[in-house]
């Protein structure tokens, strides 16, 4: 996934979850934050950030905040990027581990039961469900999800378990929006119920994998598999 017309800036403040004030050159601009999560560990005054510039558009702001520098890590924080990255990977023939076969009838925003999943497709003729979760929280080389309680995430896992029990292929992919990550874990401290649901999903045969990303100021692509540690 590639962005156009990216500019470097210095983060100043975030008045609300939708916008940020950023210094670009000698000008202070308002940027749309493409992530409504808390991201307090990322958006620290003075931090280097990267903005996609949309001049002469009909948008309320001419800039979108897409990435932030955290020490040696460049972190993409665009919440729409993970699905696009995985979509590109699927189109190139990639599949999560444990669900291999011929893919047909690929659809985005696939509804099964009363849940909507990021991708649905047939795998050797059997329905498969794939949910993608973007990860931006990192602590000492460990990526963690979620960064805030997510009842929607718990519901997705519960429905993936049900799908697996009914004979479907089911998978969840955690797309870590940075490189140089040693391990991925559920964030039990922030949302114990999500961690418990993830462990239950693994025990029921749902495919669970985590992948790093190769990130530059103007791009993000699928990286390498990252070990998943489920123990709390």
Domain ranges of the chain: 6-76, 81-226
Question: What is the model's pLDDT at position 59?
Answer: 77
pLDDT band at 231 (very low <50, low <70, confident <90, very high): confident
Cα four-point dihedral sign 189, 66, 75, 133: positive
Write out the two tokens for 200: 């239950």
Mean pLDDT of the chain: 94
Q: Are strands 19-24 and 6-16 parallel, antiparallel or unpaired?
A: antiparallel
Q: What are phi and psi of 203, to 5 degrees?
A: -65, -25
Q: Could you say which DSSP state residue 135 is in? A: E
Q: What is the average pLDDT across 125-154? A: 95
pLDDT band at 58 (very low <50, low <70, confident <90, very high): confident
pLDDT band at 14 (very low <50, low <70, confident <90, very high): very high
pLDDT per position as a tens digit, 155-209 = 999 999 999 999 999 999 999 999 999 999 999 999 999 999 999 999 999 999 9
Question: What is the model's pLDDT at position 37?
Answer: 81
CA distance 20 to 86: 27
pLDDT band at 114 (very low <50, low <70, confident <90, very high): confident
Question: What is the model's pLDDT at position 113?
Answer: 85
CATH code: domain 6-76 is 2.40.50.580
Q: Mention every residue, 6+ apart, whose C-beta is less than 8 A from residue 55.
A: 5, 62
Question: What is the model's pLDDT at position 38?
Answer: 79
Residue 56 confidence (pLDDT) above 80: no
Q: What are phi and psi of 148, to 5 degrees?
A: -155, 155
Q: Are strands 126-135 and 169-176 parallel, antiparallel or unpaired?
A: parallel
Question: What is the model's pLDDT at position 39?
Answer: 87
Question: What is the model's pLDDT at position 195?
Answer: 96
Neighbours of 65 (CB within 10 A): 26
Q: Mention every residue, 6+ apart, whose C-beta is less than 8 A from residue 3.
A: 52, 66, 218, 219
CATH code: domain 81-226 is 3.40.1350.60
Alpha helices in the chain (DSSP H): 81-91, 151-165, 192-203
pTM: 0.94
Instruction: Say yes or no: do domains 6-76 and 81-226 share a fold.
Output: no
Residue 228 confidence (pLDDT) above 90: yes
Asked whether 30 and 65 are in contact (CB, 8 A), the reply is no
Coil vs helix vs strand at 214: strand
Question: What is the model's pLDDT at position 55?
Answer: 84
């Amino acid at each position: 996934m590639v962005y156009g017309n990216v500019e470097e800036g210095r983060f100043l403040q975030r008045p609300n979850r939708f916008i940020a004030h950023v210094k670009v050159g000698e000008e202070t601009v308002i940027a749309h934050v493409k992530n409504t999560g808390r991201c307090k560990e990322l958006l620290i005054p003075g931090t280097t950030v990267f903005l996609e510039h949309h001049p002469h558009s009909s948008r309320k702001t001419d800039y979108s905040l897409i990435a932030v520098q955290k020490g040696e890590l460049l972190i993409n924080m665009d919440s729409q990027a993970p699905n696009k990255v995985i979509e590109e990977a699927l189109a190139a023939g990639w599949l999560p581990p444990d669900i291999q076969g011929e893919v047909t009838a690929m659809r985005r925003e696939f509804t099964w039961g009363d849940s909507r999943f990021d991708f649905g497709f047939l795998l050797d003729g059997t329905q498969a469900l794939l949910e993608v979760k973007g990860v931006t929280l990192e602590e000492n080389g460990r990526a963690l999800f979620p960064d805030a309680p997510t009842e929607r995430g718990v519901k997705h896992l519960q429905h993936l378990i049900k799908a697996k029990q009914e004979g479907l292929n089911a998978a969840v992919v955690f797309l870590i929006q940075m490189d140089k990550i040693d391990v991925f874990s559920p964030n039990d401290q922030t949302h114990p119920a999500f961690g418990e649901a993830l462990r239950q999903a693994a025990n029921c045969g749902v495919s669970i994998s985590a992948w790093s990303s190769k990130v530059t100021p103007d791009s993000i692509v699928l990286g390498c598999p990252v070990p998943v540690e489920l123990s709390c």
